[in-house]
Structure 1
Amino acid sequence: MIQLRGIFRNASRHAVKHCLSVKNRPTPSASISTGPQQQNGNFYEFRTYYIQPHLNAAFLKLTNEKIHLRTAHSELLGYWSVEYGGVNQVFHIWKYDSYAQRASVRAALAQDPSWIEQYISKAMPMLSTQDNEVTYLVPWSKIQTPPKDGGVFELATFQMKPGGPAVWGKAFQGAVGIHTGTGYAHSVGVFHSEFGPLNQVHALWWYESADQRAAIRQKAHGDARVVAAVRESAAYLVSQKNKLMFPCTFSPMK
C-alpha cells in the first residue's frame, strides 16, 4: 500500500509539472483562426428590394430623382436592376467605415424630413419585401471598377461548407484567379457574408454585354485550367445561384 501511495504521489507531481509547462506555452492561433482577417473595419451592406410588379417603373423613376437625398449620408457603391435570375428586384451596395458609422447614418436618416417626405413615404408602399446582408471583402480581394461604362454585372452567390476562408479560401481564390488571369472576366469584388445567411461568398463580375458573357462562358468551359480550378473549389460548395443585372442610370458604378 505504501508503495502504491508513492507511485500515485510521483504521478501527481509529474501531472502538475506537465500542466504548468503546457500553461506557459504560447497557444497557436492557427488552431482557432478561420483564415486571414480583414485589416480594416470597412464593410459593405447588400440590400435587395422586391418591388410590386406594377410599380417597378415608378419606383425606379422616384429613386432616380431622389437618390441624392440618400447618398448625402453615406457612400453608394452601385445600384442595379435585376434582369435575369430574379424579376422586379433592385440590388444596391453601401459602404461603411464601421458599425458605429452605419448606426449614425440610420439615425440621421430617421431625422431627415426631406428623405422621409420625398422618398421613404412614397417608396416603401411600392415594395413587397426587402433583404439586407453585411459582407466583407475577402482578404485577397479589392474593389475594382469596370474598365468602362455601359456593361452588365453578374452577382454569383456561393453557399460554401462551414469553416470560413481557412477551409475554402485557397481553392476559391484559385477559381476566381484563373477567370481573371485568363481574361475571361473582370472581377469587381469578392465578398464574404458576416450577417445574414452565413458561409456565403459573393463574386461580382462585369462584362461588356450579356452576349459577351455567354460567349466567354462557353469558351471558359472548354479551358482545362478553368475546369480544374472550378472542380477543386466545388469540393467545398453546397449550392450556388446568380443574377444578371443592369446598372441604373444613377448608379456610381456602371
Structure 2
Amino acid sequence: MAIYELRTYTILPGRMPEAVTLFRQSGWAALEKYQDKLVGYFLGDIGAINKVIHIWKFDDEVDRRKCWNSMFKDPDVMSFAEKYQPLIQYQENQLMTAAPWGPHP
C-alpha cells in the first residue's frame, strides 16, 4: 500500500522570497534526482501563507526510509538543507494512505 508524506515548512515571516530564490537556485537542482517519488511542491496561498508544502509518494515504509536515507547522504541535498533550515520557523510531517475511493496520484 502506498504511503504519502505531506511535508509543510512554515517559513519565517518576510523570508519567503529568499526561500523561493534558494529553491530556484540550488534546491530543485539538488532534489530533482528524487522526483520519481515526488507528487509536487506547492506554495501556500490564502490561509496558508509563508508555507512551502510538498507531497511524496512511496511504495511502502521501507521505500520511504530508503529514499530519505539516500537524500540525507546526498551532499547536494545536505548543502541545500543547510542554507534552507535557517529560514524555517516550523516543520510538520504527516504520513497518509489513500482513501479507498476516488482518484490517487
The TM-score range, normalised by the shorter chain, is 0.7 to 0.9
| Residue aligned with 2:102, SS | coil
Q: Which amino acid aligns with 1:123?
A: Y
Alignment of 1:61-100 (within 5 A): 61-65=21-25, 66-73=27-34, 74-100=36-62
How many correspondences in the alignment?
Answer: 103
2: distance between equivalents of 1:86 and 1:108?
A: 30
Deviating runs (4+, > 2 A) in structure 1?
Answer: none
| Partner of residue 77, structure 2 | 115
Instruction: Select the structure of larger CA radius of gyration.
Output: 1
Identify the residue that residue 151 of structure 1 maps to in structure 2.
none
Tell me how far 1:68 sits from its aligned partner.
3.4
Match of 1:45 in 2: 5
The structural deviation recorded for 1:86 is 2.2
SS at match of 1:87: coil
Q: Partners of 1:143 and 1:68 in 2: how far apart?
A: 27
Alignment of 1:232-243 (within 5 A): none
* 1:9-62: CA deviation from partner (whole Å, max 9, x where unpaired): xxxxxxxxxxxxxxxxxxxxxxxxxxxxxxxx2121011100011211110111
Instruction: Tell me the percent identity.
Output: 27
Consecutive unaligned residues of structure 2, counting only runs of 5 or more, are none
Q: Give the partner amino acid of 2:67.
A: V
Structure-to-structure mapping, 1:1-254, within 5 angstroms: 41-65=1-25, 66-73=27-34, 74-117=36-79, 119-143=80-104
Q: Which has the higher contact order (CA 8 A, sep 6+)?
A: 2
Q: Distance in 1 between matches of 2:3 and 2:32?
A: 17
- Looking at structure 1, the residues matched to 30 and 61 of structure 2 have their Cα atoms a distance apart, in angstroms, of 21
> Residue in 2 aligned with 1:219?
none
Q: Residue type of the partner of 1:52?
A: L
Alignment RMSD, CA only?
1.5
If the length of structure 2 is used for normalisation, what is the TM-score?
A: 0.88
1:69-104 deviations in whole A, cap 9, x for unaligned?
A: 223135211211111112211211111111101111
Tell me the secondary structure at the aligned position of residue 85 of structure 1.
coil
The Cα of 1:131 is off from its aligned counterpart by 0.2
Distance 1:114 1:59, change over 3 A: same
